[in-house]
Chains A and B, each alone.
Chain A
């Protein structure tokens, strides 16, 4: 990261901030998309993430890679958004559109594409119903392809914990996807998670 640009941006220069963070906006967008699975929500979360990055730029001391720092802020924004959505939403299952799948995004044309889109929708639906820690670990390592070591550092847990969370998330996803297309309500997911492991 350019020191001079960083100093100028920390001093309140938006143009310097644009030059500094502009190249990372694609990363922000991708993270927001993977977490929310919704174009509109990803855009909102992306905007919010950029504002947060601008506000917290003064506290950035360069002790970690700027990508990691930006990623962490964007992920936190998305988690906040998901928590808010969960609070606002009733315990009942909501329409799929509200859960993140937007048919307009994929614009399926053929039957194969429709099937694929349906699988994606179901998968995204299942991910949205995972517990927070598992969802974060899964998105980070499986969708964002962040190495386990880096994910552990970002989540401030051990590498083993990250792997364990991913493992449980995958098991839960399989369980959901193997069901007959019916999504388990989030309440049931939480109940299952509390069950003692054999």
Chain B
């Protein structure tokens, strides 16, 4: 037989007595309600300030700790990103200085060598003029070769060819002017050298960003010949055959942008690593006393 089905053996006398007892409950004391209500009110008043104080105590450290954590994270970000940017800029400045110095040296060298080459020019011109006169004289076939043929003007006169003489005069004058022309030609050399240095700098910057520039300029270069001129500059060229190409270009451009972003991010991270490596000694110098302070603080708390 299960316990739940167990029958309580009936004992009429005991059951009757228990039933009478159950019924005979004395009336509740008149002040029972008032007493427990007063006790509850007192309890409520006692617990209310305690709860407020506890809440305040709990809130304060939580918010302080939260703010401390937020500020710490922000400081770390500022240190890493700011430090990396400064490190990058300082590295770029150094490279620019090196390139500029090299370019300056190249310009100075070019400037120094330019006058020499300019001085050579008249001689070269003279030689060229002589060769021209000689050729002219030979072509006239009337020239009498004498020892004086070295004087071109006279040789021309001997040949009786006034035109040749005039040509020679023109050439000679030109030859006389050559130094000044050569000097004028030499003048832009420093500027050209500077431009070359600037181009080298730009190229080096592009080189830092990888093949980005080359990749980006390629579509532009290939697109240029395909651009069709239109009657009016304001009217766009018909694009019905170019739409797929444009789509392809846009897709390629997006991919390239993403790739470029990834590359830039990678370059930034590399720079961050370089920066951290460079800053490691300083960080260690700061970390050692900080760690010591933490240990002392913890021991003090214990």
Which residues of A in the span 36-66 have a Cβ within 8 Å of any Cβ on B?
A: 39, 43, 46-47, 50-51, 54-55
Contact B22 A34 (CB under 8 A): yes
Given contacts A25-B33, A142-B22, contact A51 B40 (CB under 8 A): yes
What is the distance, in angstroms, from B19's C-beta to the closest C-beta of chain A?
Answer: 8
Q: How far is the CA of A138 from the CA of B32 in the complex (A)?
A: 26
What is the distance, in angstroms, from A162's C-beta to the closest C-beta of chain B?
Answer: 9
A-B pairs under 8 A by CB, number:
99
Indicate if B294 sits at the interface (CB-CB under 8 A). Answer: no
Indicate if A71 sits at the interface (CB-CB under 8 A). Answer: no
- Mark B1-31 against chain A: 1 for CB-CB distance below 8 A, else 0: 0111110110100110111111011101100
Q: How far is the CA of A170 from the CA of B11 in the complex (A)?
A: 9
Contact A174 B3 (CB under 8 A): no
Contact A143 B35 (CB under 8 A): no
Indicate if B37 sits at the interface (CB-CB under 8 A). Answer: yes
Given contacts A51-B36, A163-B8, A166-B8, contact A33 B26 (CB under 8 A): yes
Q: How far is the CA of A111 from the CA of B41 in the complex (A)?
A: 46
Specify which of A33, A164, A170 is in contact with B25 (CB 8 Å cutoff). A33
What is the distance, in angstroms, from B28's C-beta to the closest C-beta of chain A?
Answer: 4
Contact B40 A12 (CB under 8 A): no
Indicate if B48 sits at the interface (CB-CB under 8 A). Answer: yes
Contact B22 A170 (CB under 8 A): no
Which residues of A in the span 147-174 have a Cβ within 8 Å of any Cβ on B?
A: 158-161, 163-164, 166-167, 170, 173-174
Q: How far is the CA of A105 from the CA of B28 in the complex (A)?
A: 11
What is the distance, in angstroms, from A198's C-beta to the closest C-beta of chain B?
Answer: 15
What is the distance, in angstroms, from B197's C-beta to the closest C-beta of chain A?
Answer: 79
Contact A119 B17 (CB under 8 A): yes
Specify which of A33, A51, A116 is in contact with B39 (CB 8 Å cutoff). A51
Contact B9 A170 (CB under 8 A): yes
Q: Cβ of B29: which chain A residues have Cβ within 8 Å of it?
A: 39, 43
Nearest chain-A residue to B2 (Cβ)?
Answer: A160
Nearest chain-A residue to B9 (Cβ)?
Answer: A167
What is the distance, in angstroms, from B17's C-beta to the closest C-beta of chain A?
Answer: 6
What is the distance, in angstroms, from B14's C-beta to the closest C-beta of chain A?
Answer: 6
What is the distance, in angstroms, from A9's C-beta to the closest C-beta of chain B?
Answer: 10
Q: How far is the CA of A26 from the CA of B25 in the complex (A)?
A: 10
Contact B37 A18 (CB under 8 A): yes
Which residues of B in the span 198-241 have a Cβ within 8 Å of any Cβ on A?
A: none
Q: How far is the CA of A177 from the CA of B41 in the complex (A)?
A: 45
Q: Cβ of B26: which chain A residues have Cβ within 8 Å of it?
A: 33, 39, 105
Indicate if B109 sits at the interface (CB-CB under 8 A). Answer: no
Given contacts A123-B17, A143-B21, contact A29 B44 (CB under 8 A): no
Contact B14 A173 (CB under 8 A): yes
Indicate if B43 sits at the interface (CB-CB under 8 A). Answer: yes
Nearest chain-A residue to B19 (Cβ)?
Answer: A142
Indicate if B47 sits at the interface (CB-CB under 8 A). Answer: yes
Specify which of A25, A145, A158, A166 is in contact with B4 (CB 8 Å cutoff). A158
What is the distance, in angstroms, from B42's C-beta to the closest C-beta of chain A?
Answer: 9
Q: Cβ of B20: which chain A residues have Cβ within 8 Å of it?
A: 116, 120
Q: How far is the CA of A170 from the CA of B12 in the complex (A)?
A: 11
Q: Cβ of A160: which chain B residues have Cβ within 8 Å of it?
A: 2-6
Can you show 17 pairs from A to B with CB atoms below 8 A apart?
A: A14-B41, A14-B44, A17-B40, A25-B28, A29-B28, A39-B26, A46-B36, A50-B36, A50-B39, A51-B43, A116-B20, A142-B15, A142-B22, A145-B22, A158-B3, A167-B8, A173-B14
* A-B residue pairs, 5 tightest by C-beta: A160-B3, A50-B36, A160-B4, A143-B22, A29-B28
